[in-house]
Amino acid sequence: MNPDAILALIGVGAIAFVALLLVIKNVLYVCQPNEVLIFSGRRRETPEGKVYGYRIIRGGRAIRVPLFETVDRMDLTNMIIEVQVKNAYSKGGIPLNIQGVANIKVPGEEPLLNNTLERFLGRGREQIMKTARETLEGNLRGVLSTMTPEQVNTDKETFAQRLAAEAEHDLSKLGLVLDTLKIQNVSDEVGYLDAMGRQRSAAIRRDALIAEAVSQAQAAEFRWNNTRNAELATLESQMQIAAKENERRVADAQSRRGALIAQQQAEVQALIATASGEVSMQEARIEQVRRQLHADILQPADAARREAEEQAKGAAAKIVEQGRATASVLTRIAETYNKGGASSRDVLLMQKLVPLFQHLAGTIGELRIDRLTVLPHRVGDAAQSSLGARLVDASEQVRAVTGVDLSKVLRDKLGDDSRPPRPPPQPR
């Protein structure tokens, strides 16, 4: 074969091969895992009976029918959206500023993918992100109006969950999927959250101080409990030692008590025997003393008693006879007195007055009599006589009966002026 013809064939084959490669490159499309291919232009029926003017390829490859189909690519990677709301009113009328981050993506499965294709096919990612941002901000304002600033600030996780649940419905209609939603910052321009934060900080500091005080008290209590337990253990051991020592002492005391009891019993028995002998001896001695007393004291006393009785009887007889004689004399004197009349009475009176006058004269002592006048006896009735006459009469009667001259006695007692005066009686 002509070499020129061969070269021509080779050139034609190369051109055909290159043309084939170009054709394949233009009609064969390969789908990456993070994207979907949409072949538009031909009708497609689903098992549910729906008819679409496109077909979807996710992963793998497919051939485009030239002149009848067009191919579009849609990225399935995450789109990070910064959600920011300013002066959104919360429950209670407090305006808040919310900053958050959301991760959304285009769904890779039907039927959500169909909604995405209907709304965003042919649009760029910026437009999709803008639509999603505006939707999330609207949902954020709606959820924020149902929660207080305290709830939003203290429980951001609950706030994000409620926001995600609220936004999921709207994003599903748009054909978007919300992967994550995090609230980064909550602030306000009126200082409400700052005041609440200071209050919360003060409460936290208070709780921390209380917790610290409680922990210190618990530590002190634990320390003192340990000290108390140690002291109790020491006391318990000391008590056990003391109990053992007491048991030993009790045993020693019991043994000594037994020995002492035996010794004391022996001594008591010896003393009892000695005492029994002493009792017998004392009984014999008592009998001896009784007999000796009977012989030495009782019999002489009995004899003396009988002698005293005889003497008393004799003395009594003598006294009786003297009493009888005295009574007889007194009876006779009474009879004589009754018979004598007034003169007997005067004589008896003078007998009683003489000792009295002697005593009166002894008491007069230092009395000086310058003159003694004796009145003469007046004739007449004795009741009508003067006192001096009666005294003279009485003095004469006394001298006649007793032989005592009263006037002489008075002169002897009262007439001696040369006698020195008696010294006054000394107090006893």
Preceding amide of 111 cis, omega within 30: yes
The beta-carbon contacts of 339-346 under 8 Å, at least 24 apart in sequence, are 343/397, 346/394, 346/397
| pLDDT at position 194 | 65
Biggest CA-to-CA distance, the chain: 250
For the chain, the first-to-last Cα distance in angstroms comes to: 207
Residue 50 three-state SS? coil
* pTM as predicted: 0.41
Q: Residue 158 contacts by C-beta under 8 Å, 6 or more apart in sequence?
A: 151
Measuring CA to CA, how many Å separate 33 from each of 57, 60, 75, 109, 285? 10, 8, 10, 13, 146
Phi, psi of 153 (to 5 degrees): -75, -35
Beta bridge partners of 143: none
Beta-bridge partners for 183 = 100
- Per-domain residue ranges for the chain? 22-73, 77-190, 209-339, 342-414
- The position carrying tokens 């609950």 is 158
Tell which CATH architecture fits domain 77-190. 2-Layer Sandwich (3.30)
The answer to whether 370 and 357 have CB atoms below 8 angstroms apart is no
pLDDT at residue number 302: 80
pLDDT in tens, 282-292: 888 888 888 88
**DSSP per-residue string spanning 371-424:** ----PPPPSS-GGGS-HHHHHHHHHHHHHHHH---HHHHHHHHHS--SSPPPPP
Q: Please tell me the predicted confidence (pLDDT) of residue 4.
A: 73
pLDDT averaged per 10 residues, the chain (length 428): 74 79 77 83 69 76 80 86 83 81 85 82 86 87 81 77 83 85 77 66 83 89 88 89 88 83 84 84 82 78 81 80 78 74 66 66 57 49 56 70 68 57 49
In this structure, what token pair is assigned to residue 380?
A: 């007449």
Q: Which residues pair with 117 in a beta bridge?
A: none
In eight-state DSSP terms, residue 295 is I
**What is the per-residue pLDDT for 125?**
86
* Residue-level pLDDT at 427: 46
